[in-house]
């Protein structure tokens, strides 16, 4: 529990944005008669719990956490913000070509792929020469895999809930394409950014929060022994 508190303190800004945004968007959904708000709240809470656990164990970068917060709030906005006779998820940004839902998938699952890369990188340990290519591939494959799992979950949801906003085959195909595009863009961006070695002196952002907490706890006793 102490490790979790340490991680939350380190990421106070994105955690605060997530909490405030979630409360506001759920309040809007309840006020405008969105009866499925408990489902959206449950998804966001479950996702936050998974991200917190991964961050404590593996250490996600601030950029990745910010992207995942944007994903969560974008998901809530998609289901809770009324637009015309529907909600934001059904809004066409470019009529017949691009919907809000497609942008949400691209951004969200792109950063899910990045989180998968940051979690797996210490285990994969690619050589410096292979690092950019491995980064791109893992982000793309992670985004596509997580997006496919989401589509399966949406299909199962249609079997349980008589009223849903999932859509049909066209929606599924658009989502899968958006997941791929998001993975490609975020993978390219991640590969171009400096990537300090996890746990190294220049890699504090990627070092697990738990490890930093344990190090801080050990230092006073080690200084005492040295004295």
pLDDT in tens, 149-163: 999 988 887 777 766
| Cα 194 from Cα 176, distance rounded (Å) | 29
pLDDT at 167: 66
Mean pLDDT of 128-156: 92
CB 56 within 8 A of CB 4: yes
| Cα 132 from Cα 111, distance rounded (Å) | 17
Residue 186 has pLDDT above 70, yes or no: yes
Residue 221 has pLDDT above 80, yes or no: no
- Token pair recorded at residue 58: 């593996």
* 201 pLDDT tier (thresholds 50, 70, 90): very low
Pairing relation of β-strands 92-94 and 98-99? antiparallel
pLDDT at 94: 93
pLDDT at 193: 79
pLDDT at 195: 64
Torsion of CA 184, 187, 193, 194, to 10 degrees: -160
Q: Which residue has the higher pLDDT, 224 or 57?
A: 57
pLDDT at 11: 86
pLDDT cut 70: percent of the chain above it = 82
pLDDT, tens only, 91-128 = 999 998 899 999 999 999 999 999 999 999 988 888 88
Most confident region among 41-45, 95-99, 189-193, 209-213 by mean pLDDT: 41-45
Query: What HEC string does the chain produce?
Result: CHHHHHHHHHCHHHHHHHHHHHHHHHHHHHHCCCCCHHHHHHHHHHHHHHHHHHHHHHCCCHHHHHHHHHHHHHHHHHHHCEECCEEHHHCEEECCCEEHHHHHHHHHHHHHHHHHHHHHHHHHCCCCCCHHHHHHHHHHHHHHHHHHHHHHHHHHHHHHCCCCCCCCHHHHHHHHHHHHHHHHHHHHHHHHCCCCCCCCCCCHHHCCHHHHHHHHHHHHHHHHHHC
**Domain-wise residue ranges, the chain:** 2-207
Mean pLDDT of 199-215: 43
Mean pLDDT of 170-192: 93
pLDDT at 163: 62
Residue 223 has pLDDT above 60, yes or no: no
Q: Which residue has the higher pLDDT, 74 or 173?
A: 74
pLDDT cut 90: percent of the chain above it = 59
Mean pLDDT of 36-62: 92
């Amino acid at each position: 529990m102490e490790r979790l508190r340490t991680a939350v303190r380190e990421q106070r800004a994105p955690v605060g944005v997530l909490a405030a945004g979630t409360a506001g968007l759920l309040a809007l959904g309840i006020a405008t008669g969105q009866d499925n708000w408990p489902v959206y709240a449950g998804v966001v809470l479950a996702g936050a719990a998974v991200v917190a656990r991964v961050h404590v164990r593996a250490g996600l970068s601030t950029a990745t956490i910010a992207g995942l917060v944007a994903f969560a709030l974008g998901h809530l906005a998609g289901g809770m913000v009324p637009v015309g006779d529907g909600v934001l998820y059904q809004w066409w940004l470019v009529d017949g070509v691009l919907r809000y839902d497609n942008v949400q998938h691209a951004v969200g699952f792109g950063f899910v792929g990045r989180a998968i890369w940051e979690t797996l990188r210490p285990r994969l340990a690619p050589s410096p020469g292979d690092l950019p290519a491995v980064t791109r591939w893992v982000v793309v494959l992670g985004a596509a895999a997580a997006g496919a799992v989401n589509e399966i979950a949406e299909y199962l949801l249609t079997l349980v809930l008589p009223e849903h906003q999932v859509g049909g085959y066209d929606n599924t195909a658009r989502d899968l394409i958006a997941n791929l595009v998001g993975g490609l863009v975020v993978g390219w961006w991640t590969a171009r950014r400096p990537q300090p070695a996890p746990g190294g002196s220049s890699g504090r952002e990627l070092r697990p929060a738990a490890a930093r907490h344990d190090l801080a706890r050990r230092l006073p006793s080690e200084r005492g022994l040295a004295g």
